[in-house]
Each structure stands twice: as structure tokens, then as C-alpha cells.
Amino acid sequence: MSTVFKIQQLTKFYGPIHALNNVSIDIPKGSIFGLLGPNGSGKTTMLGIIMNITIATSGTVLFNDTPLTADGRKKIGTLLETPNFYHYLSAYDNLKITATIKGIKNPDIDGVLKQVNLYERRFSKFQTFSLGMKQRLAIATCLLGDPEVMIFDEPTNGLDPVGINEIRNLIKSLAKNGKTIVMASHLLDEVEKVCTHVAILKKGNLLVQGGINQIMNQDDMIELNASNHDLLLETVRQIPHYIKHEITDNGNIMVYVKQGTVDTEGINQLCFKNGIVLNTLSLKTESLENIFIGLTS
């Protein structure tokens, strides 16, 4: 996978505030790249530097292996804040005006409206749109110049679950059609469901980056319980590839085994051989939220 953005040793000071500390990130072509971090961790600063809006104190950003030029900038669509739309004009007319302001010649407005699934409503007034539709129209403005990369800051901010789902599906379909998406988000569940790659920042430091599967590639967990709790506690240590166990809030036993080795049938047989009848046996996966909290707390 080639790299769209190569961010190298980026450092940013705002006066005494150290917003980014020697951060290096590779953003692969075709990825949906989630930039995560608690408030004030440097996400917006990072996006600003990528877009040449904010000047780095030191470090470099390469776009397709070269420093970002005005021509390169045209290949990047950004949605860092919600654009102003005319409430009494249609989706079509709003996009026509945006294209004129952006100096885009012969914009494919119909094509863009189809991509964001608003073509059927192209002649409806903006004020009749749901929040999700308004945000899809905002994303449509980024698509007007047919960018290679799209950068979003909190793209589902303020949307209800239906709107969030609409944007999630749209982002996935844009990536399927070859766009690279970079998005800053607080919503870990959203990132887990949408992103192919993530980087986690904390106080300007990069904690982890990589493919979502690689980052989520934690040990397997099995939740167990039986009426003979004490005997079960002794037995769990005999489970092949046992690492550790914890007691959960509801009194079950969470057993961690080496990733990819879990054998639920074997665990059931082992318990039964030891005179234990399990009343709970379920395979669990670590959520990105748990990993994030573990890394940032």
C-alpha cells in the first residue's frame, strides 16, 4: 500500500504550549484513517498542518512523496467546519454556488449528488433537509473538485444515530470508490466500525498507529461462570494458553488466552471433566474503547 501522507517528526509549539511532540504517521492510500485522542491531544493541529493552514515548528509532511503544492492542495477535499448553505435554495443550487466560489470549472453536480445519495432530493430546499442530509451535502461540497483525499474533523458531530449511520455508510462508499479518508473523531465506536487504520494521540504524543485489526489484535477473552465458582477459579488456570483471569462486575470470570487459540468446546470439556457445569461461556472481543482507555488513562 503506498502512502498518501508521510508525516515526519512533526512538532508544534503555540508559545509555551507543546501541541505536537515529534509525531510521525504514515497514511496509506485508500485507507479510512482515524485520528483519535482526548480533547487537546493535537488532532486539529495535525490536520491544520497537513492542510498547510497551521505552520509546524519543525518536521515535514509529504503528500504523494512531495511537499504540498497549490496543485496538490486541489486534490484534497476538507470539511473542517460546516459550510454555510442558503436555506431557501435547493441542494443543486447550493452546490452550484459552492463550485463557483471554489473556482471549479464544469463541476459534475449530478454525479456528486448521486455519490452522497441526495440526487432524488436535488431540487428540495436545504431547509427541508434532516441533519444527516445537511452533513451529506456538506461532504458533497468536498467532492466537487473530485479530490483524491478527504479530510474530516468530527464528521458526525451533532448527528442523531440515523444521521451517524448515513455518514458512516457514505464514508465507506467513498473509500470503496478509491478515496482516502482522514478523519479526527472522539467516537471510538464509530472509528472501530468505519476506519481501516488509526493513530492515537495524547498530549501531542503518538501512542500507537497501525491497521485497526493490528491494534485490536489483543488476547482472546472468554467469560465463564458456574455455581461451583471456587472450583472453576482453580480450573481456569488449566485452560490451554491461559494468560490471566479477572472477576467481572457481574461476578463472572474473564479468562484471557493467547490470541487465536481459544477453543470453547475444549474449555467446556475440561470443566465438565473437573465436575463443573458451566452456566456462562461466551467469547468476548476487546473494544477499541477499552484499548483507548487503557492507552490514554
Ligand X SMILES: Nc1ncnc2c1ncn2[C@@H]1O[C@H](COP(=O)(O)OP(=O)(O)OP(=O)(O)O)[C@@H](O)[C@H]1O
Nearer to ligand X, 40 or 59 (CB): 40
Nearest-approach distance from CB 83 to ligand X, in angstroms: 19
Separation CA 185–CA 163 (nearest Å): 15
Nearer to ligand X, 54 or 280 (CB): 54
**Amino acid present at 34:** G
Nearer to ligand X, 81 or 234 (CB): 81
Site for ligand X (CB under 6 A): which residue of 31, 44, 156, 196?
44
**What does the chain come to in residues?**
297
**Amino acid present at 142:** C
Under rule CB under 6 A, residue 45 binds ligand X: yes
Nearest-approach distance from CB 97 to ligand X, in angstroms: 29
Nearer to ligand X, 17 or 162 (CB): 17
Measured from the Cβ of residue 29, the count of other Cβ atoms closer than 10 Å reads 15
Nearest-approach distance from CB 37 to ligand X, in angstroms: 5
Site for ligand X (CB under 6 A): which residue of 4, 33, 34, 42?
42
Nearer to ligand X, 45 or 94 (CB): 45
Separation CA 241–CA 260 (nearest Å): 10
Sign of CA pseudo-dihedral 262, 268, 269, 273: positive
Nearest-approach distance from CB 188 to ligand X, in angstroms: 13
Nearer to ligand X, 19 or 226 (CB): 19
Q: Among all chains, which residue has been given the C-alpha cell 460546516?
A: 82
Under rule CB under 6 A, residue 40 binds ligand X: yes
Nearest-approach distance from CB 92 to ligand X, in angstroms: 33
Residues 8-37, interacting with ligand X (CB under 6 A): 14, 17, 19, 37
Residues 144-203, interacting with ligand X (CB under 6 A): none
Query: Which candidate, 28, 40, 21, places its Cα nearest to that of 2?
Result: 28
Under rule CB under 6 A, residue 112 binds ligand X: no
CA distances to 53, 219, 240 from 253, rounded to whole Å, are: 51, 15, 16
Separation CA 186–CA 181 (nearest Å): 16
Q: To 5 degrees, how large is the angle CA 76–CA 129–CA 33? A: 30
Identify whether the C-beta of residue 4 lies closer than 8 Å to the C-beta of residue 49.
no
Q: What one-character-per-residue DSSP string does 134-160 give?
A: HHHHHHHHHHTT--SEEEEESTTTT--
Nearer to ligand X, 39 or 250 (CB): 39
Nearest-approach distance from CB 178 to ligand X, in angstroms: 28
Separation CA 125–CA 148 (nearest Å): 29
Under rule CB under 6 A, residue 4 binds ligand X: no
Under rule CB under 6 A, residue 59 binds ligand X: no
Q: Which residues bind ligand X (CB under 6 A)?
A: 14, 17, 19, 37, 39-45
